[in-house]
Amino acid sequence: MKQIGIIGSGAMGAGIAQVAAAAGHDVVIYDAREDALTTARDRLHETLGKLVAKGKMSASDSTALFGRIAWAGTLGALRDSDLVIEAIVEDEGVKKEVFRALSALVSDQAVIASNTSSLSVSALASACQKPERFLGLHFFNPAPLMPLVEVIPALQTDPGLPPRLKALMDQWGKRPVLARDTPGFIVNRIARPYYSESLRILEEGIATAPQIDRILKEEGGFRMGPFELMDFIGHDVNLAVTESVWRACHHEPRYQPSFTQRRLVDAGWLGRKSGRGFYDYREGTPAPDPEEIPASERTAVFERVLAMLINEAADAWYYRVADRDAIDLAMTMGVNYPKGLLRWADDWGISAVVTVLDRLFHYYHDPRYRCSPGLRQMSARSERFWPENDPDHG
């Protein structure tokens, strides 16, 4: 694959273009908005300049990388691309319209991929003339820095295509994992409880947002607490993914959106980018200093969130969304979890996880807390995800 086409010059599109160009490909970025292309070109030039200034890239390599990228305002510029990656608004109708036009333009051998984070890849493939040449390639933001790429074949995808694209992602220096075409794929499905269960704890008045953030960082080793992370992602984006997964899973209770987060979006308090979210980022506002809570309560808040995360990971494994290794790799490489959740289950003890989930279910009588059949079976058989003597364990 010599020429790579990119549709969309936003943060994701430009980031993917940078990765492809760094791997030696000729890249063409298409965007119908001339101002967006200009902005993306200027930002990339600035980014490369900073890398040179920090000694992370030579000036000649920077110039060569930038020179391999062409900026186009017409879709026809992608005609000769061997692989086209779409990275535009997360709207099925808009994406399908683009794919109909694109598939009539490129050769029958060209591969078309979508960077969708939660839409059905099979539904998007149906808009293409050659759906067997279509699949999902889900990069994580910022694409030049985050190593994970989820490779998602559609039902229509030629079986030989995913291995080829995994090999290409390896060549790009990425860590590709194969995922089934299910709502949220691996990461955006399994990560939901980190936000939703923390929101439930907040809504019940058990702990404040700063307290929950501190507990999950100190007890669990997470880099950012859930409320800090939602503020960083943007509540409009985070809520949209939750709602998309919830709808696609026929209103599954585990993915039910939070009224608290919806009200933040309604108020325009989107997080860091708007200056307000769960935290106040306006100049002069002091950082919160959360009160300490008793050690037993700290442990119970942390174990509740962790058990729900492990349950989601185990369910994804049980229903063959991805294999064991792909799930743990995805969560450590895609969202920087301190440990793979299935390894965490082994270390904590699967029976202990089941006990926490059953206690929550019996207390709330809420189906969101039902234990994954995979976990329950493993607990009954005293099984582990990894053998205890596995040299790679931990």
Question: What is the model's pLDDT at position 393?
Answer: 52
Residue 188 annotated as catalytic: yes
Q: Please tell me if the domain spanning 3-181 has the same topology as the one spanning 296-380.
A: no
Query: Exposed, middle or buried, 305 (CB in 10 Å: 0-12/13-18/19+)?
Result: buried
Indicate the class that CATH gives domain 296-380.
Answer: mainly alpha
- Pick the catalytic residue from 86, 150, 197, 312: 150
Is the per-residue pLDDT at 76 higher than 50?
yes
User: How would you label 113-137 residue by residue, b for 16+ Cβ within 10 Å and e otherwise?
Assistant: bbbbbbbbbbebbbbbebbbbbbbb
pLDDT tens for 87-108 read: 999 999 999 999 999 999 999 9
Is the per-residue pLDDT at 392 higher than 70?
no
Closest CA to 80 of 108, 107, 112, 99: 107
What percent of the chain is modeled with pLDDT above 90?
Answer: 93
Residue 117 annotated as catalytic: yes
pLDDT tens for 319-333 read: 999 999 999 999 999
- Pick the catalytic residue from 25, 115, 138, 303: 138
Instruction: Please state the φ and ψ torsions of residue 205, each to the nearest 5 degrees.
Output: 75, 15
The pLDDT-based confidence of 390 (bands split at 50, 70, 90) is confident
pLDDT tens for 182-239 read: 999 999 999 999 999 999 999 999 999 999 999 999 999 999 999 999 999 999 999 9
Residue 336 identity: N
pLDDT tens for 102-154 read: 999 999 999 999 999 989 999 999 999 999 999 999 999 999 999 999 999 99
CB 82 within 8 A of CB 133: no
pLDDT tens for 284-314 read: 898 888 888 888 889 999 999 999 999 999 9
Compute the distance between CA of residue 150 and CA of residue 138 in angstroms, rounded to an integer. 5
CATH classification code of 188-292:
1.10.1040.50
* Residue 369 DSSP code: G
- Between strands 134-139 and 148-153, the pairing is antiparallel
pLDDT tens for 157-187 read: 999 999 999 999 999 999 999 999 999 999 9
Residue 296 annotated as catalytic: no
- Between strands 3-7 and 83-86, the pairing is parallel
What mean pLDDT, rounded, does the chain reach? 96
Question: What is the model's pLDDT at position 394?
Answer: 44
Structure tokens at 155: 């039902």
pLDDT tens for 21-53 read: 999 999 999 999 999 999 999 999 999 999 999
The pLDDT-based confidence of 279 (bands split at 50, 70, 90) is very high
Domain spans in the chain, listed from the N-terminal domain onward: 3-181, 188-292, 296-380
What percent of the chain is modeled with pLDDT above 70?
Answer: 99
- Pick the catalytic residue from 115, 120, 188, 379: 188
Residue with tokens 């962790």: 306
Compute the distance between CA of residue 74 and CA of residue 80 in angstroms, rounded to an integer. 13
Residue 45 annotated as catalytic: no
Closest CA to 110 of 126, 92, 128: 128
Q: Would you list the DSSP string of 26-88? A: EEEEE-S-HHHHHHHHHHHHHHHHHHHHTTSS-HHHHHHHHHTEEEESSGGGGTT-SEEEE--
* Residue 246 DSSP code: H
Question: What is the model's pLDDT at position 202?
Answer: 97
Tell me what the mean pLDDT of segment 245-273 comes to. Answer: 96
- Pick the catalytic residue from 9, 62, 114, 117: 117
The CATH architecture of the domain made up of 3-181 is: 3-Layer(aba) Sandwich (3.40)
Question: What is the model's pLDDT at position 388?
Answer: 84
Closest CA to 256 of 212, 200, 204: 200
